[in-house]
Amino acid sequence: MGKIWILGSSCRNLLCPFFIGYALICTGVHCFQFGQIPAGDDGGGGRDDGFNSTFTISSFTYAQTRLKPYDWRYIKVNLPPWFSSMSINLESDVDLDLRNIREASTSNLPMICFREGSPPLPDVYNTSLTGLVFDYVSNDSIGGIQGLQIVEQCYPMQKIISLRLTNEQISPGVWYFGLFNGIGPIRTQSKMINRGQSYSFSCNVSVEGCTAPMVTGQFCNQTVNLLTCAEGYVVTDSSSGNKTSDLVAENVVVCRNADDGTCHVDNGPKVFSLNVMGFSEELTITASNIRFNSNSTKNASGIILMSYARHGAMPLDTLHDYSGNISKAPLVIPAPKLGRWYVTVQPVSLPNSGGLRELSTAVCYSLEWQVLQCPVDKAGPNCTWKRYMLQTVLRKNPSAPFESYYLPLSEKVLSDSANFPLEPLLSNSSYGGNNDVAWTFFLVDIPYGAAGGNIHIRLTSDDKISYEMYARYGGFPSLDNWDYFCTNSTSSSNGSMFFKLYDSTEKSIGFYILYPREGIWNFGLRQVNPVGSGYTYQTTMSISVERCPQKCSAHGNCQFLLDTSGLSLYSYCACDRNHGGFDCSVELVSHKGRIWQSISLIASNAAAVLPAYWALRHKAFAEWVLFTSSGISSGLYHACDVGTWCALTFHVLQFMDFWLSFMAVVSTFVYLAAINETSKRTIHTIVAIVTALMAETGPTRSSNIVLVLAIGTLGLIAGWLIELCTHYRSFACSAQFHLNLVDRSAIKEWIRNLVDTLLRRYRWGFVIAGFVALAMAAISWKLENSQTYWIWHSIWHVSIYTSSFLFLCSKAKDPSDRSYVLTRQNSFTGANGEIAAVSLSRG
């Protein structure tokens, strides 16, 4: 007997009790792992249905996390085969009106995306927006969608999302939830500034499973019936002739229900399961000996037995992969996928001569499953085509984990590189003697943890390529059943969410499958009019797993991050300032646009000459050094920022730019106060420390402009207070003096003199113009975003330096050049008893 590739449920489920201890490994603030926890225990995972039907497999809480503009996170959840339901409770501070978001730009739209098997990627194409549903996410909207391993479903982010998905709605395996704060090509662009609306979220995910190994359903109340399996062989002729050498032994596994009969007493459905462990050509489900009860020998030919088959999950009459009336003809599933298949059999109607027979009448039948397999190196009808299991060769590159290429395990080809010749491996015969078409299959195993990579397929020939490529996960592809295909440079799956065609011509074809699902992929190469071994040209093929497609098109760097579980690595491209997209192939800024941005951002710093020249002319050397250094450092920073030239590291240049800009604003305010150098140095030292912390911890925050203006105002007020205290230091501090100060007329006179002093000290036309320029700088700072940063920041440069220049010009004359004298109005103790007033006047 050969190797048994197909096992019945009775074989597989013997191992289920040993896997009950399985738990999802997760990370977060709180994470609980359980073994078998009966219902009603402290685990809290069971249901009080009178028996212990469910238990908590895993539960974890994802701590509150803030997503900045164009930021994203992935949450990974593992669902074992015996899971019953998955609950998701997500809270966020997003407040969206679904009635108005259709008109909003998706580049700023917070959303949540779901995908089975690998991370979602909602902005590969504009057509990906077809997966965006402008509605509230619900159990029915997620659970009713099939094929989420090759597509994805996205919804606008909601304040509260509460989902409970059962094993009747989704399949076991790995599921990913992606949370995005804006999508589009700009998401991966390296941004000069990243301002916009942020939002925070927290999430709790729990998974429950069935305690009994042979039950399923969302409440673990549906019994799965066992089948008894036996293996055998069928010898078939693989050619149109009768040569003995063309005979092929096909492996056949036949499974039947126990006691040769199954009865539906209450006309309810019955569920059966089968584990397909290897690639198979066909799965056939047949019902025979159909009768009204177990003791009857009369064949009830009028009974309708509807059969619903589904891979990995409970089939329903509204949600299934295949269906048919097996009382009339067998249900045939071509090229079934690997894994567990569930089949539900449901009697639909029981007619008799008087109408419908009572529902209590037992319907009995014998159920048979037949699985047909070819030898390990054969495939197709009558096992006439070839298949190869490719060997994984890891690349020796520690900076790019999970990168590898694949070579066939065959003596026909010997290759030391990632490319191997194709013609020696091709099938040269066809089914039924029709030599018009032949298939060759290549099996590729994507390792666990590599779902965040990309499969790269490339064909290169010295003549026109006449091959067609079809890809399918977990089963043989065909013309009617595939996940992705590429027949030529104009006909392919290009435009699908996770398929990207590159550099395809008549002599070369190259494409990527983005973020493929972990497991075995089957690539079928279809030849039209095969010519046997007499090839006059050579075609080379390469299959590899790469971290980033096209190596980020030479416009970015490949970055790696872990998902929330810390077990899966996914990659993405961090593009430069001028490109974006998942592969950095989208040019966001043209060459001409880059020149204008460079000129605008660098040349606008020439406005620093205005305050620097004024400070130098008035011998304010400290301010001159500050304004000059600020303009130079800002020009150097933006030259590096736009990719022209970097004099120092980007971080150092950014720090110097923002810090000196903050200092220049504050020092302008401090200069307006007439204080001595000692006091000025003290204020400058304090301000330097505070602004340095601001420039280091969050230089691009929009609130910084308010903080800088507040610090400058405080510096000016502090200077005035110091000046006032200095001028009044010589006054006598007698009790009579303090009494005189509280006299109403004296206060009015003091205020009048103070206002008169301020009016004479500053040129108020320049002050008003300075505040207008400062307001313009604040507005431009607030309006900066990723798309218009270069425009508004250039205006910021001109406005902020112009405002400093105007404020400096508003100072009429340095008060230190004038003398302040105290004059008495009468005397403090005059003979007539009048109260003396004190006034401050200029000498």
Lowest mean pLDDT among 1-5, 405-409, 492-496, 736-740: 1-5
Cβ-contact 365, 296 below 8 angstroms: no
Q: What is residue 310's three-state secondary structure?
A: strand
CATH of domain 224-373: 2.60.120.680
Q: What is residue 477's three-state secondary structure?
A: coil
For range 208-227, the mean pLDDT:
85
What gap in Å lies between CA 47 and CA 33, rounded to an integer? 18
User: Backbone dihedral region of 117: left (phi > 0), alpha (psi from -120 to 50 degrees) or beta?
Assistant: left
pLDDT band at residue 36 using 50, 70 and 90 as cut-offs: very low
Lowest mean pLDDT among 267-271, 297-301, 367-371, 535-539: 297-301
29 CA to centre of own chain? 21
For residue 635, give the nearest of 622, 617, 648 by alpha carbon.
648
Cβ-contact 58, 23 below 8 angstroms: yes
What gap in Å lies between CA 669 and CA 808, rounded to an integer? 9
pLDDT band at residue 552 using 50, 70 and 90 as cut-offs: very high
Beta strands in 258-338 (DSSP E): 262-264, 270-276, 282-291, 305-311, 322-325, 331-334
Q: What is the pLDDT of residues 96-151, one digit of tens each?
A: 877 777 666 677 889 999 998 889 988 886 544 556 787 788 777 776 566 566 67
For residues 237 and 764, the model is more confident at 764
What gap in Å lies between CA 390 and CA 406, rounded to an integer? 6
What gap in Å lies between CA 378 and CA 474, rounded to an integer? 16
For range 325-354, the mean pLDDT:
84
* Residue 545 DSSP code: E
What are the b/e assignments for 261-274, b being 16+ CB within 10 Å?
Answer: ebebeebeebbbbb
Q: What is residue 261's three-state secondary structure?
A: coil
Beta bridge partners, 312, equal none
pLDDT exceeds cutoff 90 at 798:
yes
pLDDT band at residue 240 using 50, 70 and 90 as cut-offs: very low
Please give the pLDDT value at position 433: 52
Q: What is residue 117's three-state secondary structure?
A: coil
For range 823-834, the mean pLDDT:
43
pLDDT exceeds cutoff 70 at 296:
no
For residue 312, give the nearest of 338, 292, 333, 283 by alpha carbon.
338
For the domain with range 389-547, which CATH number is right: 2.40.128, 2.60.120, 3.30.70, 1.10.760? Answer: 2.60.120
Sign of CA dihedral 153, 159, 165, 169: negative
259 Cβ contact list (under 8 Å, min separation 6): none
* Residue 360 DSSP code: T
pTM here is: 0.77
pLDDT exceeds cutoff 90 at 756:
no
Please give the pLDDT value at position 258: 67
- Cα distances (angstroms) measured from residue 592 to each of 578, 597, 599, 646, 789: 11, 9, 11, 20, 17
pLDDT band at residue 234 using 50, 70 and 90 as cut-offs: low
Residue 637 buriedness (CB in 10 A; 0-12 / 13-18 / 19+): buried
For residue 402, give the nearest of 453, 456, 457, 443 by alpha carbon.
453
* Residue 132 DSSP code: B
What gap in Å lies between CA 659 and CA 586, rounded to an integer? 34
Lowest mean pLDDT among 47-56, 65-74, 301-310, 786-795: 47-56
Please give the pLDDT value at position 298: 59
Q: Which of 567-571, 724-728, 814-818 has the highest mean pLDDT?
A: 567-571
Please give the pLDDT value at position 45: 38
Half-sphere exposure of 479 (CA within 13 A, CB side): 6
Phi, psi of 681 (to 5 degrees): -65, -35
**% helix, strand, coil for the chain, step of 5:** 30, 35, 40
pLDDT band at residue 15 using 50, 70 and 90 as cut-offs: very low
Residue 141: its H or E element: helix 139-143
Q: Domain coordinates of the chain in residue numbers?
A: 21-210, 224-373, 389-547, 591-730+764-812, 733-761+821-843
Please give the pLDDT value at position 362: 77
Shared fold status for 21-210 and 389-547: yes
Q: For residue 793, what are its two tokens?
A: 């920041």
Q: What is the pLDDT of residues 406-444, one digit of tens each?
A: 999 877 777 778 899 888 888 876 554 556 788 999 999
For residues 629 and 19, the model is more confident at 629
Q: Which residue is it, tokens 């003549």? A: 463
Residue spans of alpha helices (H) in 570-676: 591-603, 609-617, 621-641, 650-671
For range 579-605, the mean pLDDT:
90
For range 683-700, the mean pLDDT:
84
* Start-to-end Cα distance in the chain: 118
Q: What is residue 780's three-state secondary structure?
A: helix
For range 65-72, the mean pLDDT:
91
Looking only at the bridges linking them, the beta strands covering 262-264 and 363-373 are: antiparallel
Cβ-contact 112, 161 below 8 angstroms: yes
pLDDT exceeds cutoff 70 at 727:
no
What gap in Å lies between CA 459 and CA 507, rounded to an integer? 8
Looking only at the bridges linking them, the beta strands covering 586-587 and 6-8 are: unpaired
Please give the pLDDT value at position 672: 79
For residues 527 and 643, the model is more confident at 527
Q: For residue 161, what are its two tokens?
A: 């999302």
For range 699-707, the mean pLDDT:
74
Q: Which residue is it, tokens 């505040």? A: 771
What gap in Å lies between CA 177 and CA 194, rounded to an integer? 24
- The CATH-assigned architecture of domain 21-210 is Sandwich (2.60)
302 Cβ contact list (under 8 Å, min separation 6): 350, 351, 352
| CB atoms near residue 627 (< 10 Å) | 30
What are the b/e assignments for 480-495, b being 16+ CB within 10 Å?
Answer: eebbbbbbeeeebbbe
283 Cβ contact list (under 8 Å, min separation 6): 274, 276, 332, 333, 336, 341, 369, 370, 371, 372
Q: For residue 221, what are its two tokens?
A: 């109340």
